[in-house]
Structure 1
Amino acid sequence: MDVPSLKHTHPQKHYFKTLCRFMYYLGMGDLWYEKTEVSFYMKIVYSIWMMVANGFIIIFLFNELLSFARPDLTAREKNDLAVFSFAHPLLYAKVVTLYFFKGRIKFVMERLLEGSRPIFHSLELEKKSVTQFAINCFAVTAASYAVLGSAIIEGIRQHYIQDIPVRTEVVYFPNPSQSGPFVTVVRILVEFHWYCIVAMMSTMDCLALCSLITVGHKFKVLRLYFQQLRIRTLENKERKTKKELAEDFKKDFVIGIQLHSDALWCARNVQESMGFLYSIQVFESVALLVMNLVKLVVAERNVIYLMATFVFILCVVILTGAYMMVAGEITYQASEVGTAMFHSGWEECNPGPDLRVLVVVAVQASQVPVYMTAFGVIILSHTNFISVLRSSYSFFAVMY
């Protein structure tokens, strides 16, 4: 008899595990909360790989920052350098903070996936949440690599027009006048560097987005629990005495309160352990949108270059929008829990004072808004997503 796979029995866990494994292969460390037996030799090999992968990123980031010292920068290179020298260090700042919070992220991930699931879960809702995982991760990854693709197309165009090497990043070494086999290898590594850092960024964003979606899923499951509690109460109304009905309802309602407490804990701790990811993203989005709007104004007018800039802007909007929309869904789902509690069937049990007090206190607690924030100040919501876009354009309009 075949044993059901993790993909079918616990789809969320399967997706998170796959994502963590991919991050492990990228040299970002082991973020999975379950321990795996690894030989001493493999630990040494992986430690070397982590140093190589991260050293490669850091060396070429410094190479990019040093290009400010180049006296032969063209106007276009100066514009591109201003954007890249701001964006790329911030991208790697996410990696650094990820290492710093790695232990806490493991702990929160375990509670997120395993905490209240044995008490109550819905496989149907879980599969829908995994579909949301896939849609959001695909959108973020596709948008990020579309920027790379458009930059390469523009680099190829410049190569044929100006007879210069294909360039997507601006670096100190090599400059366009240098040539030779070693220089060619370095140029290939420069292009590969951007792909690597975007891969790291995409997986981190996917991890944060999937965590936010899972928090929203917990509130959906909680609402379903109270809806089913009402159905059970109505079904047992004719079969049990009022006292038995009230006792059973109280036990089930207390379990619902525990589920609510677990969902609130997950929301609070996902905010504390992964809030840096969307905080950096919101800050980066406003700045990059302004920079690229300026580029559209001052740059030369040709279709490919304008298209590459528009793709970059679209990527930034998608990244910010993904966080804002998913986090806004948490606020909405949490706000509906109080209604589900109130309509859970308590009035059918001829409730005594203790049960009425319990329901009132639980409903009051559920009415406290649940917000995910950037820097603890900017609430991530559908409305504030539009506000961020407006603020970016307003800042550009005032400064320019």
Structure 2
Amino acid sequence: MDVPSLKETHPQKHYFKTLCNFIYYLGMGDLWYEKTEVSDRKKKLYSAWRIIMNGYILIVLLDELLAYARKDLTDREKNDLVQFTFAHPLIYCKVLPLYIWQDRIKDVMERLLEGSRSTFHSLELEKLSVKQYTRHCLTLTTVSYVTLVSASIEGIRLHFIEDIPIRTEVVYFPNPSHTGFIINIIRFFIEFHWYCIVAMMVTTDCLALCSLLTVGHKFRVLRLYFQNLRDRTLEKKGDKTKAQLEEEFIQGFVVGIKLHTDALWCARNVQKSMSPLYSVQVTESVALLVMCLVKMVVAERNFTYLVANFAFISCLIVLTGSYMMAAGDITHEVKVSAQDSCR
């Protein structure tokens, strides 16, 4: 007899576990709340991998910051440098809360996925919430990497027109005058750096967004519970006495209060653990949008350049809009739940 998979029995847990696996392989630590037995050898190998991955990100970020010391920067490179040295460190700042509040995030995730599920849950609503996760995460990933590809195409165009090395990031070393096989390998890793740091950003954003959407799901389940409680009470109206109905309703209402308390706890603690991500995203988006608009006014415009900038602006809008929509979803569900409970 086939045992049902986690994806079938607990789709939300399956999705969060997949996200945590991506975060783990990117070197941002183990955020999954269930403990697994790992050998000492694997622990040491993973510790080394975390040091390599994070060291790689930080070294290239430092190389970008040192680029201000270069005297041969073109006006275009100066504009890009200001934009990148503002954006890329902020992207990495999204990763820091995962290190600082790792235990808190694990506790919140466990409460989100396991807290009141044994009391009452709806598999149908869970599947609908997973569809929401997929839409948001797929949109974030697509728009982020379309932006990177557009920037890479613009770098390739400049390579053929201006006879300069392909460049998407402005760094101190190597500069355009450096040549050689080893230099080209270093250039590849510098260009690949942007893809790595965006992968970290996307998985972190997806974790935060899915947490927000799960809080909204909690309030939908709460509303469904009270609707079912009302329907059950009305169905038994002719079969039981008023005293029996009142007693059953009070018992069910107490369970509903516990579900409501659990939903409020999740909302409050998701806000505490994920608020740095929201703050960084809003700050970054507003500042970078201003920078992009200024660049479009002062820089030479061509089709490839405009496509790359449009993709970048779209990415910022989608990132910020996703957070706003997920937070608005919670507000909507809380409001509807309150209206239903007053009826």
TM-score, normalised relative to structure 2: 0.99
- Consecutive unaligned residues of structure 1, counting only runs of 5 or more, are 344-400
1:228 matched residue in structure 2? 228
Query: Deviation of residue 146 (structure 1)?
Result: 1.0
In 2, distance between residues paired with 1:117 and 1:53? 37
Query: Deviation of residue 110 (structure 1)?
Result: 0.1
The CA deviation string for residues 30-71 of structure 1, in whole angstroms up to 9 with x for no partner, is 000000000011100000000000000000000011001100
The CA deviation string for residues 108-163 of structure 1, in whole angstroms up to 9 with x for no partner, is 00000000000001100100000000000011111111111001100010011001
In 1, distance between residues paired with 2:233 and 2:270? 34
One-letter code of the match for 1:104? R
2:135 matched residue in structure 1? 135
In 1, distance between residues paired with 2:93 and 2:128? 32
Q: How does 1:156-235 map to 2 (within 5 A)?
A: 156-235=156-235
In 1, distance between residues paired with 2:160 and 2:40? 51
1:144 matched residue in structure 2? 144
Query: Deviation of residue 97 (structure 1)?
Result: 2.1
One-letter code of the match for 2:332? Y
The CA deviation string for residues 292-323 of structure 1, in whole angstroms up to 9 with x for no partner, is 00011011011100110111000000000000
Query: Deviation of residue 96 (structure 1)?
Result: 1.5
2:322 matched residue in structure 1? 322
One-letter code of the match for 1:121? H
2:287 matched residue in structure 1? 287
In 2, distance between residues paired with 1:61 and 1:209? 26
One-letter code of the match for 2:113? L
Query: Deviation of residue 339 (structure 1)?
Result: 2.1
In 2, distance between residues paired with 1:292 and 1:342? 48
Query: Deviation of residue 182 (structure 1)?
Result: 1.0
Q: How does 1:9-158 map to 2 (within 5 A)?
A: 9-158=9-158
Query: Deviation of residue 177 (structure 1)?
Result: 1.3
TM-score, normalised relative to structure 1: 0.85
How many equivalent pairs are there? 343
- Consecutive unaligned residues of structure 2, counting only runs of 5 or more, are none
SS in structure 1 opposite 2:261?
helix
SS in structure 2 opposite 1:320?
helix
Q: How does 1:310-349 map to 2 (within 5 A)?
A: 310-343=310-343
One-letter code of the match for 2:5? S
In 2, distance between residues paired with 1:125 and 1:96? 32
Query: Deviation of residue 336 (structure 1)?
Result: 1.3
In 1, distance between residues paired with 2:89 and 2:26? 18
One-letter code of the match for 1:205? D
In 1, distance between residues paired with 2:167 and 2:148? 11
Aligned-residue sequence identity (percent) comes to 66
The CA deviation string for residues 313-335 of structure 1, in whole angstroms up to 9 with x for no partner, is 00000000000011011011001
2:3 matched residue in structure 1? 3
The CA deviation string for residues 354-379 of structure 1, in whole angstroms up to 9 with x for no partner, is xxxxxxxxxxxxxxxxxxxxxxxxxx
SS in structure 2 opposite 1:213?
helix
SS in structure 2 opposite 1:336?
helix
The CA deviation string for residues 239-264 of structure 1, in whole angstroms up to 9 with x for no partner, is 00000000000000111111011000
Query: Deviation of residue 342 (structure 1)?
Result: 2.7
In 1, distance between residues paired with 2:235 and 2:285? 53
CA-based RMSD? 0.6
In 2, distance between residues paired with 1:176 and 1:154? 17
One-letter code of the match for 1:160? F
The CA deviation string for residues 16-43 of structure 1, in whole angstroms up to 9 with x for no partner, is 0010011100000000000000001110
Runs ≥4 residues deviating over 6 A: none
In 2, distance between residues paired with 1:319 and 1:244? 52
